[in-house]
């Protein structure tokens, strides 16, 4: 997934995350991996330094042992 964003350090998310995958378990959303896990990557690039435009690309390498779900 790619989207337009600001610099990741512009909004310090102390104790939070900028990427998380959630699974619906028993009617409640539970965090599975987030940006601190090896399966996920968050890459930021400057698209245009004059306008300050940036892009982020997020990937999640879904392991073979990951059960299907919502």
Residue 52, φ and ψ in degrees, nearest 5:
80, 15
SS3 6: coil
- Report residue 12's pLDDT band, with 50, 70 and 90 as the boundaries: low
Tokens coding 19: 């990427």
38 domain residue, yes or no: yes
pLDDT in tens, 19-46: 889 999 999 999 988 888 888 988 888 8
Name the residue range of residue 31's domain: 2-60
Q: How many domains is the chain partitioned into structurally?
A: 1
Question: Model's pTM, two decimal places?
Answer: 0.65
CB 60 within 8 A of CB 40: yes
Which region among 6-10, 20-24, 37-41, 48-52 has the lowest average model confidence (pLDDT)?
6-10
| Residue appearing with tokens 């392991």 | 63
Tell me which DSSP letter residue 66 carries: P
- Check which CATH number belongs to the domain holding 43 and give it: 2.60.40.2300
Provide the pLDDT for residue 24: 95
């Amino acid at each position: 997934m790619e989207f337009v964003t600001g610099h990741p350090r512009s909004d310090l998310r102390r104790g939070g995350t900028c990427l998380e995958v959630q699974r619906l378990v028993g009617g409640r959303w539970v965090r599975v991996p987030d940006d601190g896990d090896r399966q996920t990557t968050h890459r930021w690039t400057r698209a245009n330094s004059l306008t300050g435009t940036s892009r982020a690309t997020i990937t999640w390498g879904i392991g073979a042992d990951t059960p299907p779900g919502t």
